[in-house]
Amino acid sequence: MTSKDSTLKELQTYFKEKAAERGFSQETPQDIVLLLIEELGELAKAIRKQSGLKIDHKSKIPEIEDELADVFIYLLHLANQLNIDLEKAFKNKEQKNEKRSWTVIKE
């Protein structure tokens, strides 16, 4: 298990080992994206529950924290399968974002 202060790089390495251990290392990026989309749907359902929108009470409603973790795990897995250092990619993207500006467009 990772420590509470693990870096993103350490988490990515940890999950690479776990994916191999659990038999997930042969999943393709396409497989992982489909699974990620499924988890995003479960996250949406959990947020829907929290926001008070009508839901089917007969179906299992996931917890937001669990679904966020699942989405994160699949992002780590996808980055590993594509040989992308997610921490480096994050830092590089944030450098680009720092140079951008956003405005709210009011109609």
Q: How far apart are the first and last CA of the chain?
A: 50
Domain assignment present for 106 = no
Tell me 59's DSSP state.
S
Domain assignment present for 104 = no
User: How far is 62 from 16, CA to CA, in rounded Å?
Assistant: 25
Would you say 59 and 28 are in contact if contact means Cβ atoms under 8 Å apart?
A: no
Reported as a single tens digit per residue, the pLDDT across 34-68 is 999 999 999 998 898 888 787 776 667 778 999 99
**Percentage of the chain surpassing pLDDT 90?**
71
Note the pTM of the prediction, 2 decimals. 0.84
| Domain count along the chain | 1
Domain assignment present for 14 = yes
Q: Is the pLDDT of residue 101 over 70?
A: yes
Q: Collect contacts of 31-35 with beta carbons under 8 A, ≥24 apart.
A: 32/74, 32/77, 32/78, 32/81, 33/78, 35/74
Domain assignment present for 88 = yes
Host domain of residue 25: 8-98
Q: According to the model, what pLDDT value does residue 97 have?
A: 93
Domain assignment present for 3 = no
What's the CATH code of the domain at 51?
1.10.287.1080
